[in-house]
Chains A and B, each alone.
Chain A
């Protein structure tokens, strides 16, 4: 059974076929697969009667819409002013150490991807980061290690 095909069909059924439903459909695929693959995009284009290039161009506009495979937990460390002033670089280094990968990379067990992002709206509790939709604030090196250990133990 073509899982992705069924998923895309169901999403288009749920949201609608017209253009203004493209983002919710793309988001639906991204939520469950952690990224939107070439194949998924082709299917979306077909179902919604759009050109594949158009779907690709729209998807790549949005920073959180990944078009290459990502880990189960996508870590996004805020790098804008207040978080920068409060030491986001140290937090990044701590994460790189804890996960044994560099910024932009995914762990070999496909569990964690480490990325940076722009202001996520927790400036008064900087430095802050997102792990998928979960917010982690007032980070320190120790706290970071603790958080990663907890996520590792979750499965």
Chain B
């Protein structure tokens, strides 16, 4: 039982739990104190000093985010001293900042800009010290651009990369007037352990870290009469897009999204959820194949536990940090890349278009997907399988540029051959979704019966806890899978790379007795991805989670293996799961990368 502390804020008395910060105490009274370095997802820094408040009787001001309340504290959040100090802080930040806002990608979406507007900083008395510095823009990475001239050194990105993601590609280097956010020896982020997860991008308050956008390239492709532009949409986009277009968090906008894409001029509007279902068939078969090899043939060449491979941030992290465990990762491509390989082969044939004329675009909640599309081995179609990847944010920008009134659009449906999906496909967007989708199919293949969970909702693998475990006992198998009779299939789900590391350390030491591990690089899974609308807070992630499972429950088909277009694809084109053509188009390999 924590003690209660009595204090006063702006003349109003209140009582809060011991340990509450001034910032949180003020929220109780509906008083908003501005912040920059503070973020709900991250540990407290207290370095920007924007949130300073006055405590009556003390000449020094206190950072509201970092100061726990004490008994009898008398706080003023808007005294003259506080206002003048805050103005100075903002002016100081602007003096070392590239404040040419109209040329900045985050124009209109920048927390520093918002603050400056709120305080009406129309005059800059301080000397412009920004121009004398040798700021560089690192645009070597296909996913993320780092622009030091827009950095306010709040260190949110460093805390995100180090603590939230456990990657540690970014650091604070040097001190004093040379202090900056840097990588190992200031190398381009494309040359270090950066996984492209983009969590730094969605936590950066300014335009210092942004996604590499391909908006103009896609507009050009759409305008080219010679090209047939195909677009695929990831599961998490349909429950996040609304936030970037003035709708509430957690609103499901699937039908409107399809409608908008058509109005933007895409020739074929298709669904990544289709290839999510396909992935389940391929990966499920792969899992069964590995289980058979180990349990029956005693061959450990394709070892267990097997990990999922659809999160490119996770894949790159794995290649850097655990290259010796390469064989554990499923060889399945991600749904995005499976789609890409099929778009310029199977689909091109179906719609009778020369694959050379097809431009393959994907809308993703993810920045790492841009890197994934650029991976040199992703050309199994004979062309670059996915030409351009747009984040949810970029799609919202295109919709706004086209003057579309999003909320008034009608609900439309995807085009065929690669547009139908099951509920199992859509839950890929949430942490635990791939696992649940896989279990729904694999269990039925092995036993001939549906998973023993009400409404097919496998709740043990759901939720936002960092690492979750579940066990399913296999009983009453069909003859072909007799070797699994009585086996307790142990599953593990982790999201956020820091949790991934925890799980993989166990695997490395041989202490992980799991069969199947699902890992998503981003907290929350793809719905919290680096390409989703900003801000992303724990509350918003929770709303998106609820939306995903609501979308799943609303679908007619709930299991991947019942997707009619997937069935048709195998019948007409691929043959059988894990077959020869599947291996050629839908499976990939991994590489060892440097640890740093």
- Asked whether any CB of A lies within 8 Å of a CB of B in the complex, the reply is yes
A residues in contact (CB < 8 Å) with B: 38, 41-42, 45-46, 50-54, 56-57, 60-61, 67
In the complex, what distance in Å separates the CA atom of A50 from the CA atom of B167? 10
Q: Which of A46, A56, A61 contacts B184 (CB 8 A)?
A: A56
Knowing A52-B193, A56-B173 are in contact, say whether A42-B596 is a contact too (CB < 8 A).
Answer: yes
Chain A positions within 8 Å of B103 at CB level? none
A57 touching B193, Cβ below 8 Å? no
Q: A42-B595, A54-B171 are in contact. List 20 more A-B contacts (CB 8 A).
A: A38-B185, A41-B184, A41-B185, A51-B167, A51-B169, A51-B171, A51-B596, A52-B168, A52-B192, A52-B193, A52-B596, A53-B168, A53-B192, A53-B193, A54-B168, A56-B173, A57-B172, A60-B175, A61-B175, A67-B185
**Bound form: Cα–Cα A46–B594 in Å:** 11
Task: Choose one: A41, A42, A54, A60; the contact of B162 (CB below 8 Å).
Answer: A54
- Contact present for B595 and A52 (CB under 8 Å): yes
- Are B182 and A51 in contact, CB atoms less than 8 angstroms apart? no
Q: Which residues of A contact B171 (CB under 8 A)?
A: 51, 53-54, 56-57
Q: Which of A45, A60, A67 contacts B596 (CB 8 A)?
A: A45
Which A residues are CB-close (under 8 A) to B184?
38, 41, 51-53, 56
Cβ 8 A contact of B174, one of A50, A54, A60: A60
B: residues with CB less than 8 A from A are 162, 167-175, 182-185, 192-193, 595-596
Q: List, sorted by A's number, 8 A–B pairs whose CB atoms are closer than 8 Å.
A: A45-B596, A51-B184, A51-B596, A52-B168, A52-B596, A53-B168, A57-B171, A60-B182
Task: Please determine whether A53 and B183 come into contact, CB atoms closer than 8 angstroms.
Answer: yes
Chain A binding surface, main DSSP class: helix
Contact B162 A56 (CB under 8 A): no
Nearest CB of chain A from residue B163's CB, rounded to whole Å: 11
A4 → chain B, closest Cβ, in Å? 15
On whether the beta carbons of B182 and A53 are closer than 8 Å, the reply is yes
Q: Pick from B185, B193, B595: contact of A56, CB below 8 A.
A: B185
The smallest beta-carbon distance between B219 and chain A, in angstroms, is: 36
Most buried by A among B172, B192, B193: B172
Who on chain A is nearest to B594 by CB? A42
Q: Which residues of B contact A42 (CB under 8 A)?
A: 595-596
B230 CB, min distance to chain A CBs, angstroms: 39
Q: Give the complex CA separation of A45 and B171 in angstroms.
A: 13
Chain B residues with CB below 8 A from A54, complex form: 162, 168, 171
Q: Please tell me if the beta carbons of B174 and A51 are within 8 angstroms of each other in the complex.
A: no
- CB pair B595 A46 closer than 8 Å: yes
Interface centre among B167, B183, B185 (most CB of A within 10 A): B185
- Quote the shortest CB–CB distance from B514 to chain A (angstroms): 23
Interchain CB contact (< 8 A) of A51 among B162, B175, B185: B162
The chain A residue sitting closest to B168, CB to CB, is A51
CB distance from A5 to the nearest CB of B (A): 14
A45-B596, A51-B162, A51-B169 given; A57·B182 CB < 8 A: yes
Give min CB distance, A9 to chain B, whole Å.
16
Residues of B within 8 A of A38 (CB): 184-185
B170, B174, B175: the one contacting A53 at CB < 8 Å is B170
* Residues of chain A contacted by B595 (CB below 8 angstroms): 42, 45-46, 52
A-side contacts of B172, CB under 8 Å:
57
The answer to whether B168 touches A50 (Cβ under 8 A) is: yes
A52 to B167, CA, bound (A): 10
Q: In the complex, what distance in Å separates the CA atom of A8 from the CA atom of B3?
A: 49
| B196 CB, min distance to chain A CBs, angstroms | 15
Cβ–Cβ < 8 Å partners of A46 in chain B: 595
The chain B residue sitting closest to A52, CB to CB, is B596
Q: How far is the CA of A139 from the CA of B595 in the complex (A)?
A: 48
The distance from the CB of A17 to the nearest CB of chain B, in whole angstroms, is 15
- Chain B residues near A52: list those with CB within 8 A: 168, 184, 192-193, 595-596
Smallest CB gap from A46: residue in B: B595
Knowing A51-B167, A51-B168, A51-B193, say if A57 contacts B173 (CB, 8 Å): yes
Taken together as a complex, chains A and B put the C-alpha atoms of A19 and B175 apart, in Å, by 20
